[in-house]
């Protein structure tokens, strides 16, 4: 995967795990609360909540935290979050899509705009870069659940579009509208997936030199560090050699 997913893997390797895990739990809890508030608090009756819980478990989020986030949705004092998508350009003309859940639109817009400006980017209008991405469903499994051939065969039967398998696991991509059906079919064969989510997949990628790549990584980190930002997608590509130098201890 290009761009942000590659960067996140390196961030995990480089440490600061406890602080990052706390922030990940906070964002997962917010998604659980929003999903429970928008539908039933019963994950069996609420597909979005079920996926949110599933993704929280994949990050080893404690059961108490998950239950507390669900209960918060039924509380009268819980915040009213809204989903907002921001789009813009980063160093080297890289396209960036930012998804946020916020209870204060002005605060979040200001923070996101500040990140773009600080690292040489520019926030655009909604729709300014998303046309360069495809909205898709993505399902991931750990490598031990099956061989690449088994996963490929099952994914084709389930109606998926693509499978990527390596030592880190299997990533199945499907049409956004087919995500629920494909996930259910794969679950019947391999058990519960590690993650099931909607993603923005770039149609083409933009190669960056070392200088622009370094700035781009800082921009992604700054956005990712904001409590209101849930996910960041981009179409930048960096060679392994440059990435190793940029992330050297």
pLDDT tens profile 162-187: 999 999 999 999 999 999 899 999 99
In tens, the pLDDT along 195-242 reads 888 999 999 999 999 999 999 999 999 999 999 999 999 999 988 888
Cα 25 to Cα 16, 81, 146, 152, 243, distances in angstroms = 14, 17, 29, 32, 27
Q: Please give the structure tokens belonging to residue 5.
A: 């997913």
In tens, the pLDDT along 15-26 reads 445 567 778 888
Rounded to whole angstroms, the Cα distance separating 2 from 218 reads 16
pLDDT at 12 over 70: no
CB of 138 within 8 A of CB of 197? yes
pTM over 0.85: no
Looking at residue 76, the DSSP 8-state letter turns out to be T
pLDDT attached to residue 80: 83
């Amino acid at each position: 995967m290009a761009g942000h997913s590659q960067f996140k893997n390196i961030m995990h390797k480089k440490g600061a795990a406890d602080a990052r895990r706390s922030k990940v739990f906070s964002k997962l809890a917010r998604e659980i609360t929003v999903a429970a508030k928008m539908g039933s608090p019963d994950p069996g009756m609420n597909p979005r909540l079920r996926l949110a819980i599933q993704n929280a478990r994949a990050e080893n989020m404690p059961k108490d935290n998950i239950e507390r986030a669900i209960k918060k949705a039924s509380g009268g004092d819980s915040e009213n979050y809204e989903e907002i998508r921001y789009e813009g350009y980063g160093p080297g003309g890289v396209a960036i899509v930012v998804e946020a859940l916020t209870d204060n639109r002005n605060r979040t817009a200001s923070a996101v705009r500040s990140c773009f400006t600080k690292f040489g980017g520019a926030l655009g209008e909604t729709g300014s870069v998303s046309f360069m991405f495809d909205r898709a469903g993505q399902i991931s499994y750990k490598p031990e659940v099956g061989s690449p051939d088994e996963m490929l065969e099952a994914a084709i039967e389930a109606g998926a579009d693509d499978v990527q398998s390596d030592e880190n696991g299997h990533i199945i991509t499907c049409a956004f509208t087919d995500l629920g059906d494909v996930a259910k079919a794969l679950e019947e064969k391999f058990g519960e997936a590690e993650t099931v989510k909607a993603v923005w997949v770039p149609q083409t990628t933009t190669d960056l030199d070392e200088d622009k790549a370094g700035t781009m990584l800082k921009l992604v980190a700054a956005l990712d560090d904001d409590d209101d930002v849930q996910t960041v997608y981009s179409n930048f590509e960096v060679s392994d050699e440059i990435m190793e130098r940029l992330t050297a201890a």
